[in-house]
Amino acid sequence: MATHSIMKHSSHIITCSRSLLCWALILVSTTTLAGEFHYQQLGIAVTPRAFPNHTAEDIDSAFRLAKKLGQSTVSIYQWGNLDLNAAKYMHEKTRAYGMTSIIGLSPTTLDQGRKELDIPEDVRIAANGWISFSNPVIRNAFIKKVSEIAQFKPDYFCLATEINLLGIQRSDEYIHFATLYKEAYDVVKRISPQTRVFVSFQYEWIRILDAKALEANEPQKIQEYSKLIDIFRPKLDVIGLTTYPAEYHDSPLQMPADYYTWVYQHIPRSDRVLLMEAGWPTQGSGSELEQVLYIARLKDLLNAVDVEILAWALLHDVNLGEFNANLNSVGLIYQGGNFKPGLKAFDDLAPEK
């Protein structure tokens, strides 16, 4: 895997015509859907229309759509601004619609590349300037919050999202968090033994580091990078991944066939994979055409990967200041409610189809 196969040339501009989009929709239903299914469920983050200025009816409408698309919902919350009542409400809605509940709690900042701790203001004050996962004040506060969410008894509980980005940048804090995670894991299991507990890893950066190792003729580093995952073992019920390839590829058609099977360079075949966030934007680094093409390729790209749940990043586009144009536009529906072509493409991924 050479670096050029993962890194996208920023100067390259892709333009889409109506005819190309029609061709992409045909492609979805024919040539690229030959792969055998290996994922058990489809899921989606149920962002409602007009989020964050939505109504209660917008939420119900979003759940009705999500129920048609898949069997799982994903709700991810930043620890620093978590509204526990809102989290409970979304979980109860998921249960009311008979869907699998996946809850994520992020203790690191999104807008700072997951490098810094994202903690509530009262915890920050109590920490008295010692902002570290080694601080007992922060550790106890995190475990307390985890235990409160565990009371919901979700099906899956991710205790940190894209946590390997912290490990790449701050190995000392990564080690501290790994010990905290294992304590929190035990707490969740005591409250809700059936809940599957895990963390998620940002997949593009797994591939980027591996590509750099191979380019430098240092393949032994790949095994070293596996330690970013292994540090959480044996208390890792599934391997959670987030994947947003658009910034690193000119087109989904240029993604190598082993794009996702490459994960087995780092994990055994016996591990189950949960794609907690998969997305391709329609603005920024992407387009409607590219989103459709990416979704169309997923069956083949995941053909040899044992995926427990494949979850799309957003249902509706959002407008959040901490997101860039890519993250704001990975939805399958525009913020105002108009469907994108990617919606039908994702619906066609259902295992029974």
Please, which pLDDT band fits residue 352 given cuts at 50, 70 and 90?
Answer: low
Looking at residue 189, its pLDDT comes to 98
Stated pTM of the model: 0.89
Query: pLDDT of 162-195, one tens digit each?
Result: 999 999 999 999 999 999 999 999 999 999 999 9
* Confidence band, pLDDT 50/70/90 cuts, at residue 112: confident
pLDDT, residue 110, reads: 86
How many other β-carbons are positioned within 10 Å of the β-carbon of residue 260?
25
Q: Which long-range contacts (CB under 8 A, 24 or more apart) does 209-218 make?
A: 209/168, 210/1, 210/262, 210/265, 211/1, 211/2, 211/3, 211/5, 211/6, 211/7, 212/3, 214/1, 214/2, 215/2, 215/3
Q: Is the pLDDT of residue 15 over 50?
A: no
Q: What is the DSSP letter of 15?
A: -
Residue 145 corresponds to which tokens in the numbers above?
A: 């919050």
Q: For the chain, which domains are there?
A: 13-70+238-353 (no CATH), 73-160+170-199 (3.20.20.40)
